[in-house]
Amino acid sequence: MLKKFFLPDEFVKDIFDITPDKLRERNVKGIITDLDNTLVEWDRPSATPRLIEWFAEMKENGIKVTVVSNNNEKRVKIFSEPLGIPFIYKARKPMGRAFRKAVKNMELNKDDVVVIGDQLMTDVLGGNRHGYHTILVVPVASSDGFFTKFNRQIERRILSALRRRGHIQWEE
């Protein structure tokens, strides 16, 4: 059960390791991505120039992106709207409703979409429970918001158990 729900399909250092070429190899046409500590630090209001280029590269290659965040509307809107990126706030991940809504809004099939995030307890668990290909990224900041700090403690225990059982093949 631990492996089924909490082991991501892929692990990458950061969002920039995810390229259109690598996604095309998997026939990916859409990305559901977390916001805080996946794309930018949880307390950074807007995208970095490098991230803006990454979004443009995805768009140029026909890969749709939707930000799905558990954060509030103001936070997600301030980040996403200037970029023209669709978003869903108060997503209640790992529940499935926001994932289904994102896929529907992108007019894609579930098999054409990957879920990217920095947390096992929300992004990976949610993606895995609902049958998506999941990609775990290293958090971009070493600090977290209040609720995320609690999740990180649980994640460390889960990762340790997965490592002991030989399921993790990467170095953090």
Give residue 162's identity as a one-letter amino acid code: L
**For residue 74, is it within any domain?**
yes
Per-residue confidence band for 108, with pLDDT thresholds at 50, 70 and 90: very high
Whole-prediction pTM value?
Answer: 0.90
Query: Is the residue at 171 inside a domain?
Result: no
Instruction: Note the pLDDT tens digit of each residue in 50-75.
Output: 999 999 999 999 999 999 999 999 99
Any domain includes 169: no
Number of structural domains found in the chain: 1
Q: Which two tokens stand for residue 58?
A: 């995805």
Tell me the residue range of the domain where 145 lies. 2-164
Answer whether residue 23 is part of any domain: yes
For residue 121, tell me if it sits in a domain. yes
Phi, psi of 67 (to 5 degrees): -85, 125
Residue from 123, 151, 39 nearest 85 by CA: 39
Q: In CATH, what number is assigned to the domain containing residue 105?
A: 3.40.50.1000
Cα separation, 92 vs 129, whole angstroms: 14
- What pLDDT, in 10s, does the model give residues 110-159? 999 999 999 999 999 999 999 999 999 999 987 666 667 777 788 888 87
Residue 170 counted as domain residue: no
Selection from 171, 116, 147, 135 nearest residue 42 by Cα: 147
